[in-house]
Amino acid sequence: MISAKRVPIQFHSATLLLTIDLIGTFVFAVEGASAAVQANLDILGLMVLGFATALGGGIIRDVLIGAIPPNSIRDWRYPAAAFIGAAVVFLQSSFVNRVPAPLITTLDAAGLALFAVAGAAKALDYNIHPFLAVLMGGITGVGGGTIRDVLLARIPSVLRSDVYAAAGLAGAIAMVLALKLKLRPAIATTLGIVVCFTLRMVAVHQHWNLPRVMKH
């Protein structure tokens, strides 16, 4: 039987988890706001895309599992972190542009790993079936980027490019399987995060892509 206890809180202290979560939110907001700059949007567009990219995935997950109002509407620190991220892009865009790409990729992979695994863990807490909890983890990890791309009127990058959502799902699956094998929640969560992060980083460096169907 899957544990229905609050997995993320047992993973570390609640304070540490919140800190990591807010850092992930900040990183995703920076990415969303940077996409807004590329699309020539104004400061409000930066803010909206920062908010949507950072919090959209978690909001969709919370609505679907019945955790309403979503966490990021209940707790002002999440949108605050998102808006700080967007504000940094607006005020310091030349600095943001100088951040080395490998660092951004690494932070983004870390954010994906944490969001996907924590998202699946939260779904389990709400008594969602493990198969669906994995999907909820995937949605938490990539939902924000998907909303960002929809708002920019383009096909979401997670649907067409390399191993991104797949890494999030793999991390969530690893955590769920580990829980099924009776590993302790803290270990299972750590394992899931490591699997997702590693898979994502290797995929980036090896230019892995998922198979696709040849068009006829």
Least distance (Å) from its own copies to the CB of residue 184?
A: 25
Nearer of residues 7 and 169 to its own copies, judged by Cβ = 169
Least distance (Å) from its own copies to the CB of residue 51?
A: 8
CB 80 within 8 A of CB 113: no
Question: For residue 26, which phi and psi values (nearest 5 degrees)?
Answer: -60, -50
Nearer of residues 15 and 40 to its own copies, judged by Cβ = 40
d(Cα 137, Cα 184) in Å, to the nearest integer?
A: 19
32, 28, 7: which is closest to 189 by C-alpha? Answer: 7
**Can you tell me whether residue 211 is helix, strand or coil?**
coil
Least distance (Å) from its own copies to the CB of residue 111?
A: 19
Catalog residues that contact its own copies under the rule CB under 8 A: 36-46, 48-49, 51, 59, 63-66, 68-70, 73-76, 79-80, 89-90, 93-94, 97, 126, 128-129, 131-132, 135-136, 146, 150-156, 158-160, 165-166, 209-216
Neighbours of 154 (CB within 10 A): 11
Least distance (Å) from its own copies to the CB of residue 52?
A: 10
Q: Cα separations (Å) of 50 from 17, 171, 187, 201?
A: 21, 25, 32, 23
Least distance (Å) from its own copies to the CB of residue 57?
A: 13
CB 145 within 8 A of CB 121: no
Least distance (Å) from its own copies to the CB of residue 190?
A: 25
114, 139, 174, 127: which is closest to 6 by C-alpha? Answer: 127
Nearer of residues 11 and 139 to its own copies, judged by Cβ = 139
Alpha helices in 1-40 (DSSP H): 7-11, 14-38
168, 143, 138, 172: which is closest to 54 by C-alpha? Answer: 143
